[in-house]
């Protein structure tokens, strides 16, 4: 007797949860970038014309780079990250921020590696907090 496996379709709740995951990350990235640019005006600059829009564009680019380019970079730098016992990993986020700086040009600028490192660490902390406190409970609720 041959069994056929039916591919389960993604439920509407899962689609909503994916959208909420994306939306929560976009808003939190934008808030971190705008806040840090206000605190460190000379080192991190987001264009003051349409201030929130350029922060949101930067957040979207960072999110897309984190989902596409970052896994490749992590895989390529795995030996260095292992030798440094994980201390190299935040520099991957710094590299992602500098790619975003390059893409947006004069609308988003990071001057200096130290402040880029601070932003990268804040984004990493925010990712962990958002996953634990908000996204995981939403996804768990959607499984029921």
Given this model, what pLDDT does residue 75 score?
Answer: 94
- Report long-range pairs for 34-39 (Cβ below 8 Å, ≥24 apart): 36/115, 36/118, 36/119, 36/122
What sections of 40-88 are H helices per DSSP? Answer: 51-76, 78-83
Q: CA-to-CA distance for 70 and 65, rounded, in angstroms? A: 6
Question: From first to last of its 144 residues, what are the pLDDT tens digits of the chain?
Answer: 555 555 455 555 566 667 877 888 888 888 888 888 888 888 888 887 776 788 888 889 998 998 899 999 999 999 998 999 988 888 898 999 999 999 998 888 888 888 888 888 888 888 888 878 877 777 677 655
Give the whole-angstrom CA distance, residue 30 versus residue 54.
9
* Domain ranges (residues) in the chain: 12-143
Confidence (pTM): 0.76
Alpha-carbon Rg for the chain in angstroms: 18
pLDDT of residue 107: 87
């Amino acid at each position: 007797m041959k069994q056929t496996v039916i591919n389960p379709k993604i439920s509407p709740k899962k689609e909503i949860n994916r959208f909420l995951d994306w939306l929560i990350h976009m808003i939190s990235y934008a808030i971190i970038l705008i806040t840090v640019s206000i605190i460190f005006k000379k080192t991190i600059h987001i264009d003051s014309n349409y201030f929130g829009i350029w922060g949101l564009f930067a957040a979207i680019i960072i999110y897309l780079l984190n989902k596409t380019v970052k896994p490749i970079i992590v895989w390529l730098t795995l030996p260095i990250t292992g030798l440094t016992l994980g201390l190299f990993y935040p520099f991957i986020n710094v590299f992602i921020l500098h790619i975003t700086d390059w893409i947006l040009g004069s609308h988003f600028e990071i001057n200096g590696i130290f402040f880029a490192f601070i932003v990268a660490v804040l984004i990493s902390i925010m990712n962990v907090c958002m996953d634990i406190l908000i996204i995981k409970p939403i996804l768990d609720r959607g499984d029921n």
